[in-house]
């Protein structure tokens, strides 16, 4: 790759410390992963911080992901984590499923409290995830429905706001944001393609090249149907066809392949190429 991606350990440590402080307040950590690139959107450093917490994995943006690939990811994560579910945050209705899953994970805690003769306390949870994965959308959905329940609970760290989802479930109203480490170039590229890290961190040309190579290999039908391409040849053949179909020419009337590549990237990001998953289980 033409350009190395740099990341900043100091920045990462600061963010992890912040998350670590918040994690201490909760029983359940809800980690959001983008269904289009779930492994790339996992933060491995986080695992160390939340060892003794229950973890609920939520795959977001399933409306944009390949449904077959999502099924396989669900099976994979079920073996690894306490609980897994998918949410399309563009639609309502997922909130109850989330609430049930969180309460289920808190049952051990209730058993312990009962054994000590205590009244079972609500399960406290927080949402974490990389930029753009849907943290605020999920919190807003829950908070809007429960606007009256947003409150400052005494006994918790001052300044922390809790959303009373129901009598058994309190959600911290600020999510933990995890910056990514860019050590792994493939992961960084996936994160740029799903909009979680800035595109200019990678040379645009490289991103476009990676996307096109992947689509030619895994989703040729998306290229056929979106751009009316007749044959999937090599990269230049495809870019030339996109230029022709979309009438992208430069000043001297030649096919503008750079603009074709930029268009491909943009339309992928806007979900116009259909449901596409960038990393498949087992590959």
Ligand X SMILES: Nc1nc2c(ncn2[C@@H]2O[C@H](COP(=O)(O)OP(=O)(O)OP(=O)(O)O)[C@@H](O)[C@H]2O)c(=O)[nH]1
Stretch 125-164 residues interacting with Mg ion (CB under 5 A): 135-136
Q: Is the CB of 15 or the CB of 232 nearer to ligand X?
A: 15
Which residue in 71, 68, 61, 72 sits closest to 36, CA to CA?
A: 61
149 contributes a contact to ligand X by CB under 6 A: no
Residue 60: name its binding partner from ligand X, Mg ion, none (Cβ under 5 to 8 Å by kind).
ligand X
Stretch 21-60 residues interacting with ligand X (CB under 6 A): 60
Q: Which residues lie below 8 Å from residue 281, measured CB to CB, with a gap of 6+? A: 69, 72, 73, 75, 76
CB of 249 to Mg ion, least distance (A): 40
Q: Is the CB of 131 or the CB of 149 nearer to ligand X?
A: 131
90 contributes a contact to ligand X by CB under 6 A: yes
> What's the CA gap between 261 and 79, in Å, rounded?
39
- Residue 272, CB-side half-sphere exposure with 13 Å CA sphere: 10
> What's the CA gap between 178 and 16, in Å, rounded?
7
Single out the residue of 38, 106, 122, 134 in contact with ligand X (rule: CB under 6 A). 134
177 contributes a contact to ligand X by CB under 6 A: yes
Single out the residue of 55, 124, 135, 141 in contact with ligand X (rule: CB under 6 A). 135
Q: Which residues lie below 8 Å from residue 35, measured CB to CB, with a gap of 6+? A: 59, 60, 61, 62, 64, 65, 69, 70, 73, 86, 277
Residue 82: name its binding partner from Mg ion, ligand X, none (Cβ under 5 to 8 Å by kind).
none
CB of 15 to Mg ion, least distance (A): 14
Stretch 101-130 residues interacting with ligand X (CB under 6 A): 129
Residue 84 bridge partners (DSSP):
57
């Amino acid at each position: 790759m033409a350009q190395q991606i740099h990341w900043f350990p100091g920045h990462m440590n600061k963010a992890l410390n912040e998350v670590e402080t918040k994690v201490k307040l909760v029983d359940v950590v809800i980690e959001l992963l983008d269904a289009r690139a779930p492994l790339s959107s996992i933060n491995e450093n986080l695992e160390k911080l939340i060892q003794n917490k229950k973890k609920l994995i939520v795959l977001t943006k399933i409306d944009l992901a390949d449904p077959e690939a999502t099924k396989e990811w669900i099976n994979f994560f079920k073996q690894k984590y306490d609980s897994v579910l998918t949410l399309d945050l563009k639609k309502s209705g997922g909130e109850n499923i989330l609430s049930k899953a969180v309460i289920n994970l808190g049952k051990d805690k209730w058993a312990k409290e009962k054994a000590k003769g205590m009244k079972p306390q609500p399960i406290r949870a927080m949402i974490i995830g990389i930029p753009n994965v849907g943290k605020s959308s999920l919190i807003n959905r829950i908070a809007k429905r429960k606007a009256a329940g947003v409150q400052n609970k005494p006994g918790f760290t001052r300044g922390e706001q809790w959303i009373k989802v129901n009598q058994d479930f309190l959600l911290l109203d600020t999510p933990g944001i995890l910056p990514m480490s860019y050590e792994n170039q493939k992961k960084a590229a996936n994160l740029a393609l799903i909009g979680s890290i800035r595109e200019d961190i990678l040379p645009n040309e490289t991103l476009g090249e990676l996307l096109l190579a992947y689509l030619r290999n895994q989703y040729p039908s998306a290229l056929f149907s979106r751009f009316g391409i007749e044959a999937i040849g090599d990269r230049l053949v495809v870019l030339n066809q996109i230029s022709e179909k979309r009438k992208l020419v430069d000043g001297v009337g030649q096919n503008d392949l750079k603009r074709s590549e930029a268009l491909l990237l943009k339309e992928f990001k806007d979900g116009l190429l259909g449901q596409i998953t960038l990393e498949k289980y087992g590959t």
